[in-house]
Structure 1
Amino acid sequence: MSSLGHQIATSVLVVGTGGSGLRAAIEVAEAGIAVMAVGKRTAGDTHSVMASEGHNLIPTAADRWEQHAADTLRASCLLADPRTALVVARSAARAIHDLERYGLRFDGSGDRGIGQRDLGTRTNPRAAFPVDHTGPEVQEALRERAERLAVPVLPNVYVTRLLVDDGTVFGAYGFDLVNGSRYLVHADSVILATGGHTRIWRRASSGRDENTGDSLRLAAEAGARLRDPELVQFHPSGLIKPDIAAGTLVSERARGEGGTLLNNLGERFMTRYDPGRMELSSRHKVALAAYTEIKEGRGSQAGGVWLDLSHLPRDTVLMRLPQVHQTLLDLQMLDVTSDPIEVAPTAQYSMGGVWVRPQDSSTDVNGLYAIGEAASGLHGADRLQGNSLIELIVYGRIAGRAAAEYSAKLTGQRRSPGAIRDAEGDVNRLLAADGDQNIRAMQRSVRDLMTRHAGIARDEAGLTAGLAQLEEVETRMVDGGVHVDIGGFQDLAHAFDLRSTVLAARATLECALERRETRGWHIRSDYPDPSPELQVNLVWTPETGVRREPVPPVPTDIAELMRDIPADGKPRP
């Protein structure tokens, strides 16, 4: 430890202070077990605040939790773990009530009950939503509840390594992003809630230094497996500019209210891809259509297409799409009532992640849990809208309770001085690195190759080329240079981000190469149809590469509720 180091002990350590992390910490605190949460951002500046779609629950007698589970499995193209889908569907209503208990007020709550919104691709409207923006309000309610419970939350702490001894986690090691002081946190159990890996593409809805694959690297280096990292959801309409806000999403409600998509010829190009539903087609069809227009040279000069609202009555835009209108004014000084918006498909959500057990979100490493976008199992090849937020709350509670019980049952605390020395030495070596290869430039190289070779549409030649280019980056990393300056230790964080990005990219490329089929969001232009042989999960580790794992069978009563699922596992529109 350095002279400025901090040594802390707690029963449960939560890494990540977004929605899932705070919900887990709340559960541990309410169980009377010591807990601490650390995050490289503040609790109010997390990816969870980006969500706006609402939470799925079962609000009426006309809907049943079994139908919610069936809809989830249908949407997943039969790659979701049915046991996970059942857990989330059964627990959704309780999760909503927990949020109300923390002070969140949903639209229509009180005497009128909770209102619900239809988000598409489901049999019944079941998305509960706050009066204003879902993500920020949920995050604020959780933050306030954690404060009332006096949960210690440490911001600006970058976790570089999980500490493991003989297959059992016993804490984490990291540093302060501002002053570089080290943190050694001993813990009986650790909950990983550090998001997904969408930032390894050039355009992503996540913030600049989040979702770089931290979860995948930390888990894999600790000895856990990854599942289906190739399954990533792309949003059809992310902003291209300004650079600082590139990837900011334009709500799909813009298309729902009558927005049209145009190419650089002024053509309403969805006539070529879905003339029946046009812009109201499924999300992956719209994203693929935009990608195709851009790739074939009919996109904008900056590599996008145009989302046009100017033909709509001004009052309609101001009343029905106020957030879209205000966001474009703030970011681009663009009035969407008169000018079109330049957008492009944007990496939005990691549907794969760390392999976890459905009953408690535990991993292969004793005492280690993963939740939220860090975990896998619920979404398969396509995420049912409304499920990401409810998953945070459901498994935040379940994993928090499991981690607390695991800690309470321990008769002693495991420690390994060697593991601690290795973690410390890792940071010291990077701080001493003075090579001529720029860390940020190498990150951009990875994002560029992933966008070029493993974006929305993929093929064998492109994925193989992507792996070859990734190997070049891995070779250059040896000569990386880290420079600490008056602005803090952000360059050191970028060096660890690069490690995470490279590992996440390799897992994604190798699994995408193995999945020689088109299923949900995994689109192989050289294998355009689903393969019954690939109705499996792809499990990956750095040591073993890709292995196939059977998906557990769907219970008969749930299978009977699944609609329009043909034998090949590909849902019909």
Structure 2
Amino acid sequence: MTGNQMSGTAPGGLEMHAYDVVVIGAGGAGLRAAIAAHDAGARTAIVCKSLLGKAHTVMAEGGIAAAMGNRWPEDNWEVHFRDTMRGGKMLNNWRMAQLHAQEAPERVQELEDWGALFDRTEDGLISQRDFGGHRYARLAHVGDRTGLEMIRTLQQRAVALGIDVFMECTVTELFKTDGAISGAFAYWRETGRFVVFEAPSVVLATGGIGKSFKVTSNSWEYTGDGHALALRAGASLINMEFVQFHPTGMVWPPSVKGLLVTESVRGDGGILRNSEGKRFMFDYIPEFFKAETADNEEEADRWYDDKKNNRRPPELLPRDEVARAINSEIKAGRGSPHGGIYLDIASRRSPEFIRKRLPSMYHQFKELADVDITAEPMEIGPTCHYVMGGVEVDADTELSGVTGLYAVGECSGGMHGSNRLGGNSLSDLLVFGRRAGEAAAAYAAGLGSHPSVAPEDLTTAQAAALAPFDSEGGENPYSIQQDLQQSMNDLVGIIRNGHELAQSLEEIEAFKERAKHLSVEGHRQYNPGWHLALDLRNMLLVSECIAKAALAREESRGGHTRDDFPKTSPEWGTKNLVLTLNSSGEGVDIAEKPLPVMPDELQTYFQEA
């Protein structure tokens, strides 16, 4: 017991803790939310599935997007807002995009005040680099280790503030009392013992869904826990059809296939070539971007020197455009020996420049693939990286449709629309993490008394967690996961069609039936098979959301491409698809919902050339 919490033991020997705010997840969003809640006076805890400091935020290496104007004084929040909306193909929640663009510079400065060590300009300001889809160089960065520096800084501050952290502790259920959040049920991964957190405010910051796909940059924790917890608690999800396949992941050796290759390589001058040596991205420039993009390689080279007329190389188109172009080249037979294409910075930059600006990438390829990126190109290909969809929340407070339940970061939806611009993820974590923490603390403080978890709910949660031990001779959870990942990869990947999406839904239903009869051996201590059995419940539910929404949206937009509906539809550009848990509690229902209407004064930003 510490001064920040109240602890005890429930009937049956359950470990109990009471807080005002419980944050589930210890990435950038979770840490920033916890700091904000603590600073607002709330008794706050962080519950994380893995070790503190191992969050997937560290994989966001390129930088934090914020219109600070350190390299381009013309940059401002209005331009950043417009870039974000255009990158999301106008399906973003306009209010979230506005708040994000307005508040990101202050959040970056705040990080520096807390000890983050950013790279500097010649004048000593925080350096900012180019990234795809951003009109100006606006990504504050620390080499190619920005996410790591963010986590280090936020983690250090959270620990210094004395915020309680429950590491290697997985939440399996949320509790409600009289329709409002009352706590969460979890277990210690080491011992398998159960633990209960009573709290009127819960902030979901659990990250994404990438482990439902075979080839992904995501680590093992990304099994859609927050998405599924929210659904089962009664919240809704939006934009789940939009999955971002990062253009550049490692393709060789097989042991690291999908591992992220940061966009910083292209931001610092790297170019894409096919097996014929052709710089093919000039063949894929959309009409929308031609006015701001160099029209030949000579002009693109000059862009790196003087940014004449603010022209941009085609490698820095938004991620969805680049990923589709790479996919097309590979399918046309112009791929590399291991099924990718080539990313070349060695012919464009000196070895000294590469080792200084891209130290992580240099070591990653040298150690894992025996490739010296200062002397030879990298083999890369698209990898499942990020889901734009998540819990539907209020833009200002991040409150879901369930009283007391908030969501931030990758498990929330709306901010990025149909496609996220690189660098916007880290500033998203900071801006909305702070807002969610403050709102969650304010709600808890306004209650006369905290709700208690009903004893019968504890019994139900325990029974559900132990169910995989009840059957003998059932299927191995690893077999189901492997088949699910292959199905999602083959049928719900970069290029989709109605027949394959319908087939994927049939297969997911079959996986759900198989999962009812899975079994795990051994005891609760150190049992990864049991952990996966519990994760599968979330993965199957979230995979159904993705496939069902992708089948319903009969157009191509952002991270969702249908070859049977290749055009972007004005009608579909006015609405979101909303998913809720169905009456059986084992599947999802889908409905259409109009987009929030953008105010006239913001719409004027899109009337310019």
**Which interval holds the TM-score relative to the shorter structure?**
over 0.9
Q: 1:222 matched to which residue of 2?
A: 233
Q: Distance in 1 between matches of 2:144 and 2:481?
A: 36
Q: Distance in 2 between matches of 1:260 and 1:463?
A: 33
Q: 1:408 matched to which residue of 2?
A: 445
Cα deviations by residue, 1:180-233 (Å, 9 ceiling, x for unpaired)? 1111111111000000112211111111x2221111111101111000111111
- Matched position secondary structure for 1:481: coil
Residue of 566, 588, 593 corresponding to 1:549: 593
- Matched position secondary structure for 1:532: coil
Are 1:360 and 2:397 matched, yes or no?
yes
Are 1:186 and 2:175 matched, yes or no?
no
Are 1:516 and 2:525 matched, yes or no?
no
Q: 2:257 matched to which residue of 1?
A: 246
**Partner amino acid, structure 1, of 2:190:** V
Question: 1:69, 1:558 within 8 Å by CA — same for their partners in 2?
Answer: no
Residue of 579, 584, 598 corresponding to 1:540: 579
Tell me the CA shift for residue 16 of structure 1. Answer: 0.5
**Partner amino acid, structure 2, of 1:153:** V
- Matched position secondary structure for 1:479: coil
Are 1:283 and 2:295 matched, yes or no?
no
**Partner amino acid, structure 1, of 2:250:** L
Q: Which has the larger displacement, 541-550 or 38-47?
A: 541-550
The correspondence of residues 119-134 of structure 1 with structure 2, limited to 5 A, is 119-130=131-142, 133-134=145-146
Q: Distance in 1 between matches of 2:52 and 2:384?
A: 23
Residue of 386, 390, 399 corresponding to 2:423: 386
Residue of 398, 408, 418 corresponding to 1:371: 408
Tell me the CA shift for residue 396 of structure 1. Answer: 1.0
Tell me the CA shift for residue 401 of structure 1. Answer: 0.7
Question: 2:343, 2:380 within 8 Å by CA — same for their partners in 1?
Answer: yes
- Matched position secondary structure for 2:483: helix
Q: Distance in 2 between matches of 1:161 and 1:77?
A: 35
Distance 1:403 1:179, change over 3 A: same
Q: Distance in 2 between matches of 1:523 and 1:487?
A: 44
The correspondence of residues 3-82 of structure 1 with structure 2, limited to 5 A, is 5-60=14-69, 62-82=74-94
Q: 2:244 matched to which residue of 1?
A: 233
Tell me the CA shift for residue 82 of structure 1. Answer: 0.8
Tell me the CA shift for residue 105 of structure 1. Answer: 3.1
Are 1:149 and 2:161 matched, yes or no?
yes
- Matched position secondary structure for 2:373: coil
Q: 2:207 matched to which residue of 1?
A: 195
Q: Distance in 1 between matches of 2:607 and 2:210?
A: 30
Q: Which has the larger displacement, 548-557 or 427-436?
A: 427-436
Tell me the CA shift for residue 124 of structure 1. Answer: 3.1
Cα deviations by residue, 1:325-345 (Å, 9 ceiling, x for unpaired)? 211111122223455433221
Q: 2:565 matched to which residue of 1?
A: 527
Q: 1:397 matched to which residue of 2?
A: 434
Distance 1:170 1:435, change over 3 A: farther
Cα deviations by residue, 1:151-193 (Å, 9 ceiling, x for unpaired)? 0111000111111233211111111111111111111110000
Q: Distance in 2 between matches of 1:378 and 1:187?
A: 27
The correspondence of residues 426-441 of structure 1 with structure 2, limited to 5 A, is 426-441=464-479
Residue of 518, 531, 543 corresponding to 1:505: 543
**Partner amino acid, structure 2, of 1:40:** K
Cα deviations by residue, 1:427-465 (Å, 9 ceiling, x for unpaired)? 121233334312112111111111111111111111111
Cα deviations by residue, 1:361-398 (Å, 9 ceiling, x for unpaired)? 00111100000111011100111232211111111111
Q: Cα RMSD (Å) of the superposition?
A: 2.5
**Partner amino acid, structure 2, of 1:413:** H
Q: Distance in 1 between matches of 2:139 and 2:374?
A: 29
Tell me the CA shift for residue 102 of structure 1. Answer: 1.7
**Partner amino acid, structure 1, of 2:237:** L
Q: Distance in 2 between matches of 1:7 and 1:304?
A: 50
Distance 1:281 1:414, change over 3 A: closer
Q: Distance in 2 between matches of 1:261 and 1:59?
A: 29
Tell me the CA shift for residue 110 of structure 1. Answer: 12
Q: Distance in 1 between matches of 2:524 and 2:17?
A: 27
**Partner amino acid, structure 1, of 2:412:** A
Tell me the CA shift for residue 15 of structure 1. Answer: 0.5
Q: 1:570 matched to which residue of 2?
A: none
Question: 1:106, 1:128 within 8 Å by CA — same for their partners in 2?
Answer: yes
Identical aligned pairs, as a percentage?
37
Superposition TM-score, scaled by structure 1 size: 0.92
Q: 2:306 matched to which residue of 1?
A: none
Tell me the CA shift for residue 133 of structure 1. Answer: 1.8
- Matched position secondary structure for 1:236: strand
- Matched position secondary structure for 1:560: helix
Q: 1:568 matched to which residue of 2?
A: none
Q: 2:218 matched to which residue of 1?
A: 206
Question: 1:200, 1:501 within 8 Å by CA — same for their partners in 2?
Answer: yes
Q: Distance in 2 between matches of 1:427 and 1:129?
A: 42
Q: 2:5 matched to which residue of 1?
A: none
Question: 2:318, 2:421 within 8 Å by CA — same for their partners in 1?
Answer: no
- Matched position secondary structure for 2:19: strand
Q: Which has the larger displacement, 400-409 or 306-315?
A: 306-315
Question: 1:226, 1:355 within 8 Å by CA — same for their partners in 2?
Answer: yes
Tell me the CA shift for residue 123 of structure 1. Answer: 3.2
Structure 2, unmatched stretches of 5+, are 1-9, 286-294, 297-312, 583-587
- Matched position secondary structure for 1:561: helix
Q: Distance in 2 between matches of 1:283 and 1:218?
A: 29
Q: 2:493 matched to which residue of 1?
A: 455
Q: Distance in 1 between matches of 2:506 and 2:483?
A: 12
Tell me the CA shift for residue 302 of structure 1. Answer: 4.5
Q: 2:7 matched to which residue of 1?
A: none
The correspondence of residues 79-94 of structure 1 with structure 2, limited to 5 A, is 79-94=91-106
